[in-house]
Structure 1
Amino acid sequence: MFLPLPANQLKAPIFQTDQRKVLELPTFRPEALRDPTVVGKALQFPKSENDILLAYGVPKSLVIEFRLLPKPYTVVRDVTLTILDQVSVARTKSSKNNRAVLSMSISYKLPIPILTKVSAGPAGCGKSVLLLQAVEHFVAKKWIVLYIPRALTLVNSSSHYIYDPRTRTYLQPDFSYELLRRFQQINKAALEKLKTTKAFVSDTAPVRVGAPLTRLIDVGIENKSLAPVALSALFEELSQQTEHPVLLAVDDFQALYRHTTLYRDPLFHGIKPYHMSLPRLLLEYASGKKVFQRGAVLGALSTAHTIFQLPLELREALGIPYDRPSGPYVRRKPEMVEYAKGLKNIPVPAQMQIDEAASLYEVWGQSHWLRTAPNDEGFLATYTQAAGNPREFVWKGLLQSYAL
C-alpha cells in the first residue's frame, strides 16, 4: 500500500511546494449542499475528532487517492443531491419503503433479439464515492449511521467464525467487535442518550433495562465472544427507537447475495450468506423483514470483483437487464429472491458532466500531480480518453505515467 514519506525527509528543492498554491476548498457540509450551484464543485471532507474516514475506512479503490492528495476531496455531482433528497425522506418514515441501491443500467440490443448487452454500473462510475458522500452528509445531520465500506469481507472467509447451536448460524466475533467499536466512535453522543428497552441477559455482563446503548456496545467490546449477540441486540434497540433516524450504508452490496460464501462448514460445503450472523443481519434489514422505525438502507454495487458479480435475483429485483442469456429455466434461489424484494434502483450516470470533471482536474492539478501545467487541451484530452469515467479520468488519464 502506498504511504507518503514524512515531510522532514523531503528536503530536496524538487519537493518544495509553493504554499500559496495549496488548494483550499469549502468543507463538505449540509449547509454547503443547500445551494444548487454547488453541483460540479469540489469540496473537502471535514476533519474532526470522530473522522468517518478513519473510523469506518473507505473502499480500497479510494484509499490510495486520498493518500496521494493533501486532503480527501470530493466533487458534488447532480446525482449526489438526488440521492440525499431520496434518503432524507426517511427522516420521519420507516425503512420499510426506503431501501435503495446505487446502480446503473446501460443496454443496447444486439442483432439477435433475445440477447441484450448490458452493464450494471461500470467500474469507476462513482457509486462508492456517492455512498461515502451520503454517509458524511447524514452523520453531519446527526443521524445514527452504520457504514460498511467493504461488505465482501463479510463473506470472503477473511475472519474468524464459529458455529452457534442456539441460533444455528455461524458467528463472526472479530468482525462484530470491530463494527461495534467503530459504530460507537461515530455515534457515541446519540447512543448515550438512548436507553435499552430490553434486558441483555449474560452470565458475565448483564445489561439492565434503561441503561445507555453505549453500555450494550461496551459488553461486546469488553468480551469479543459476546460481540455478535450484542450487535444483534443493538440493531433491535435501534429499530424500535424514534428519536434519531438511522442509516445503514453498505458498499459491495451484491456480495451479500452470493449463493454461497467462501466460508466452509465441517464438510467443506460453502456456507450460505443467510447462515452467517452478520450477512444475515444486514439482509434482514435490506429486505424489510426487519425495519428501523425511522431510517433507510442504502447500498452500492461493485463490479470490480470477478467472483462477487451481481446475482440474478438481485438483478431482477433492481430491474437491471441480464448480462447473459437467461430465462425462466435458470434457477433462482427462493431465499435470495425474498431478501431482494422491495429494493429500489437509484441510477448513477456512467460519465461525469464537463463541470464535474473540470473540478476534479483542478483538484489534482493544484495538488501538483499533473505532468504539465493545467490547460484546456490537456483536460479535454484526458476527459475524452476516459470517456467521462471518474476513475479512468484519474488513473488512466492524470496518473498514467506514475508507478503507484
Structure 2
Amino acid sequence: MSGSICLRCLARPAVSTLEQSSLRISAQATAAFSTSAPLEANPVKKKGAVVVKPGRGANASFSKQGKIRKGQAGGRTGKPPGEGERKAIRKRVVLSNTNAVEVQGLDNLSATNIHDAAIEGHVMGLSNEVIDALRATEAFKPTQGWSLFRRPATLVRKETAEVARLMKDVESKKTSVRRVIYGERGSGKSVLALQAKAMALLKGWIIVHIPEAKELILGHTSYAPSNEPGIYNQPHFAAAMLGQIAKANHSVLSKLRLSKQHDLSIPVQSNISLDRFAMMGAQDPDIASEIYNALWSELTAPSQSGEGLKRPPVIFTIDSIAHVMRDSAYMNPDVEPIHAHDLAIVNHFFKLLSGKETLSNGGIVLATDSGSNRPGVPGFDHAVALNAALAQKKDAPQWDPWVKVDQRTIDILNGVDVWQIKGLSREEARSIMEYYAKSGMLRQTVNDNLVGEKWTLSGGGIIGELEKGTVKTRI
C-alpha cells in the first residue's frame, strides 16, 4: 500500500489538452520580448555566401552617392576659383566669332557719316579704336549678342539718328541734354547709350560711363565721409572710374592740360596733361576723390584760347539707374542706411541730370533703366510716368497714397526728359535680319513673310526678342 502511494506521488501530474495549448501560447507570447543572449548575438554567416563590396558591381553608382572622402569638403575635387575669378567669368565679354562670315561691304561709323540720313536703317560697324575705348568703359554687356558675329556692328535706328541730331545741336548751341531712357526688356536701351558714346568718341567728346549702378550701392567697396556734410566718398570706385576715363579718352585728354590751381593734398605740375592727372588718382585711392572733383572742374571749365585749354563737350551715362534711387548697403555713424543720393559719385551725376550743375561746353547726360535685374522703386516709376504724361500733354497719373514714396527720387527727376524706347519698325527689322543672314547666323531666306512672322513674335520688333527668335534659337 505504501509502495503504490509513493509511486503515485513521484509520477508527473496529468495535464489536460486545453491547459497544454494555453501554456504553449503564453510561451510564444513571452518569447517575442525575450532579451536572452542568443537573440542579441549577430547571426552566423553561412559558408559559401558571396559578399559584394561597396563600389563594385552593378550597384557601384548607388553606393558612392553621399560618400565624402576624408579631408575633402563635400567631396569637391580640383582647385577652387581664385579671388574675383567667378566675377571675371560672369562679366567676360566676347566681341568676335571666328566662325561667323565676314560681311562684305560693311562700312564703319565715322565722323563724316554720323549725320548722314542715308545710314539710318542700316547696320554699321565699329572701328577698332572705338571698340577699345568702349571696352575700357565696360559699355559692352555679356548679355548682348556681340559674340555671335565676326566683329561688332550696330543698327542705326531712328532713335540713333535722333541722338546724332541732339549732338549737332549741343555743339552748335553749347547746350546740355538731360534724359532718362526707359522701355521694355530687350528694347535696346543700353545699346542706344553705347551708340551715343561711340558717336561722341568719333566727334572728339569726353565719355564717362558707369556700367552698372548696382555696383555703387552694394557696400562692397570702401567709403568715407567727404568734406561736404552728409556726402560720402568711395575712394576705390573713384580710382577705378578715373582709370576708365583716362584709358577711354587718352587721345583727347593727352592734348588737354590743367587750367586752374587746385587745392590738393599732393603737389601737381601746373601744366600736366589731364590724361596724366587722371592716372594719378587712378593709381592712388587716397587722393582719387579729390582728383575726380578737380578733373570735372577742368572738363566743365569754359574753353580758353591757348594750347590745351579748349574743352570739348562731355557725355556722361549710367546704366540701371533704378538701383541708385533707394537706400544703399552702407551705414552712417548712427547705424542707419545711407541713401544712394548721398554717395559722392551718385550725387554728382544727379546734379548734372537735374541741371543743378551745368556743362559749360555742352554735353549729354543719359540715364538708362534696366528691364532685368531691376528693383521695385515706386517713386522712380511714378516720376517717369509723370514726366512722360507731361511731355505728351496727358493727364498726370495719380499717386497711390498707400505706397511709401521717396520724395528725393521724385524731386531729382523734376523737369528731366524721359524717352521711351519701343520696338523696331518692319524696315529696321528686315535690315538687321539681312545682316544676320549675311553673317551666316540666319539660314533662312529673308522675305516679307519671314520678317512679318519674326517681327510679330518678337512683340512688335523688340530687338532682344528678335535676336533670340532668329540667331539664338540654334544655340
TM bin (shorter chain): 0.7 to 0.9
Conserved 8 A contact 2:190-2:319 = yes
* More moved, 366-375 vs 271-280: 366-375
Aligned equivalents of 1:323 and 1:70: distance in 2? 47
Code of the aligned partner of 1:164: P
Aligned equivalents of 2:252 and 2:316: distance in 1? 15
2:221 maps to 1:149: no
The residue that corresponds to 1:359 in the other structure is: 431
1:21-60 map, 5 Å: 22-48=103-129, 51-58=132-139, 60=141
Offset of residue 383 of structure 1: 1.7
Calculate the TM-score normalised by the size of structure 2: 0.69
Conserved 8 A contact 1:150-1:250 = yes
The residue that corresponds to 1:160 in the other structure is: 221
The residue that corresponds to 1:118 in the other structure is: none
The residue that corresponds to 1:289 in the other structure is: 356
* More moved, 179-188 vs 308-317: 308-317
The residue that corresponds to 1:315 in the other structure is: 384
The residue that corresponds to 2:373 in the other structure is: 305
1:240 aligned counterpart, secondary structure = coil
Deviations 1:162-190 (A, max 9, x none): 22253343322222112111111222233
* More moved, 37-46 vs 323-332: 323-332
1:370 aligned counterpart, secondary structure = coil
Aligned equivalents of 1:29 and 1:5: distance in 2? 20
Deviations 1:206-258 (A, max 9, x none): 225443323421320221221122112111221113331112122223333x1
Offset of residue 36 of structure 1: 1.6
1:184-203 map, 5 Å: 184-203=246-265
Offset of residue 276 of structure 1: 1.0
2:331 maps to 1:253: no
Conserved 8 A contact 2:239-2:282 = yes
The residue that corresponds to 1:89 in the other structure is: 169
1:315 aligned counterpart, secondary structure = helix
2:338 aligned counterpart, secondary structure = coil
- Rg larger in 1 or in 2? 2
Offset of residue 122 of structure 1: 0.9
* More moved, 319-328 vs 332-341: 319-328
Conserved 8 A contact 1:192-1:212 = yes
Offset of residue 71 of structure 1: 0.8
Offset of residue 332 of structure 1: 4.3
Conserved 8 A contact 1:50-1:185 = no
Structure with more relative contact order (C-alpha pairs < 8 Å, separation 6 or more): 1
Aligned equivalents of 1:361 and 1:323: distance in 2? 39
1:4-403 map, 5 Å: 22-48=103-129, 51-58=132-139, 60=141, 63-93=143-173, 95=175, 98-103=177-182, 121-157=183-219, 159-164=220-225, 166-167=227-228, 168-203=230-265, 205-242=266-303, 243=310, 244-256=312-324, 258-265=325-332, 269-296=336-363, 297-307=365-375, 309=377, 311-312=380-381, 314-315=383-384, 318-319=387-388, 326-327=399-400, 332-348=405-421, 350-370=422-442, 372=444, 374-387=446-459, 388-402=461-475
Code of the aligned partner of 2:117: P
Conserved 8 A contact 2:186-2:463 = yes
Aligned equivalents of 1:70 and 1:322: distance in 2? 48
Structure 2 unaligned segments of length 5 or more: list them: 1-89, 304-309
The residue that corresponds to 1:107 in the other structure is: none
Code of the aligned partner of 1:353: S
2:373 aligned counterpart, secondary structure = coil
Code of the aligned partner of 1:207: V
Aligned equivalents of 1:49 and 1:73: distance in 2? 11
Offset of residue 65 of structure 1: 0.9
Deviations 1:68-88 (A, max 9, x none): 211111111112111221233
1:70 aligned counterpart, secondary structure = coil
Code of the aligned partner of 1:342: G
Conserved 8 A contact 1:317-1:340 = no
Aligned equivalents of 2:400 and 2:388: distance in 1? 15
Change (3 A) 1:50 1:187: farther
Code of the aligned partner of 1:30: A
Aligned equivalents of 2:94 and 2:406: distance in 1? 47
Change (3 A) 1:6 1:281: closer
Change (3 A) 1:384 1:285: same
Change (3 A) 1:192 1:94: same
Deviations 1:137-195 (A, max 9, x none): 111011122122322322233x4122225334332222211211111122223323333
Conserved 8 A contact 1:50-1:186 = no
Code of the aligned partner of 1:339: I
* More moved, 141-150 vs 304-313: 304-313
* More moved, 383-392 vs 361-370: 361-370
Offset of residue 325 of structure 1: 6.5
Calculate the TM-score normalised by the size of structure 1: 0.80
2:124 aligned counterpart, secondary structure = strand
Change (3 A) 1:83 1:5: closer
* More moved, 137-146 vs 180-189: 180-189
1:221 aligned counterpart, secondary structure = helix
Aligned equivalents of 2:290 and 2:191: distance in 1? 31
Structure 1 unaligned segments of length 5 or more: list them: 104-120
Change (3 A) 1:359 1:312: closer
Q: Work out the number of aligned pairs and report it.
A: 370
Code of the aligned partner of 2:248: I
Offset of residue 124 of structure 1: 1.3
